[in-house]
Amino acid sequence: MRWFWQRRARTIHCAQPRMLRCATLGIHFEATFTIEWRPASRTRLNLEDLVLSQTLARASEVAQLFPAVEVRTAQDTINAELGAPEHTRATGYRCLAARVELALSENAREDLAQQQADEARVRRLRFLRTNLYEQPDLFVLDRIEKQGDWPGAQQVAQWQRLARWMVAADEWWQPILDQWEEVGQGFNDIELQNRAMLALCDALQKLKGDDSPDDSSVASSTAEGRRKE
């Protein structure tokens, strides 16, 4: 009987790339392995397949923690994990050394570049929405600066309306404002506008079940102030 360290060391060269899932959706690492190991006994069949399978499984667990852009960091971490003592022993064999090399295929690199460009564009649009498009005054100034001349009152009003819509687009009451704007287009007289505002306030108060006279008086005083203007 020979002890396992007396048995001849064997080497597995896995030159055919194996796909390892990474943290970036839709992209995989291409992994090639070199494994040195010794059999602990002669009783187990397909021992080489077991060595490769278990090494691949451990590498796959670590690879899923890293995004595609960190391919070198993922490679170093996997090699450190495979070389740790608690991962070098297994039933039927002893792993002496294991090393993995990771890479991205040409298609994966193209997909990654496209994803990065898309993410950068989304970040830019979100920044512009928060700091420009949701600010009616800044949005109008930006449009005027790009247009180069005075666009006219109607165009300015449309830009301001668009900016206000962006601010309230996710609010539940935005459809009400849209409908009210369409209805209000026929109220060109100041008196009709005041009466429409009173009717809207009364309808909302009744909908809430609040018949407080204080709120009605506030609405009336507001309308009266607009009449005087």
Place of tokens 């668009």: 162
Closest CA to 77 of 115, 22, 9: 22
| Whole-number Å distance between alpha carbons of 197 and 173 | 17
Which carries the bigger pLDDT value, residue 187 or residue 107? 107
Closest CA to 52 of 82, 85, 7: 82
Q: What is the mean pLDDT of the chain?
A: 77
pLDDT of residue 64: 94
Structure tokens at 149: 């001349």
Closest CA to 37 of 16, 57, 7, 17: 7
pLDDT in tens, 132-183: 777 777 877 787 888 777 777 777 777 777 777 777 666 666 666 666 666 6
pLDDT of residue 223: 46
Task: Name the helix (H) or strand (E) containing 84.
Answer: none
* Extents of the domains making up the chain: 4-105, 172-229
The number of beta carbons lying within 10 Å of the beta carbon of residue 180 is: 13
Strand-pair partners of 18: 31
pLDDT of residue 161: 76
| pLDDT band for position 191 (cuts 50, 70, 90) | confident
pLDDT of residue 115: 92
Q: What is the CATH number of domain 4-105?
A: 3.30.479.30
CB–CB of 82/99 below 8 Å?
yes
Is residue 225 pLDDT above 80, yes or no?
no
Is residue 49 pLDDT above 90, yes or no?
no
| Whole-number Å distance between alpha carbons of 98 and 162 | 61
Alpha helices in 64-186 (DSSP H): 71-83, 106-128, 136-147, 153-168, 174-184
| pLDDT band for position 215 (cuts 50, 70, 90) | very low
> pTM for the full model?
0.57
Distance of alpha carbon 123 from its chain centroid, rounded? 10
pLDDT of residue 174: 63
| Whole-number Å distance between alpha carbons of 118 and 96 | 44
Phi, psi of 149 (to 5 degrees): -145, 170
pLDDT in tens, 9-40: 778 888 889 999 999 988 999 999 888 877 77
Task: Name the helix (H) or strand (E) containing 197.
Answer: helix 190-208
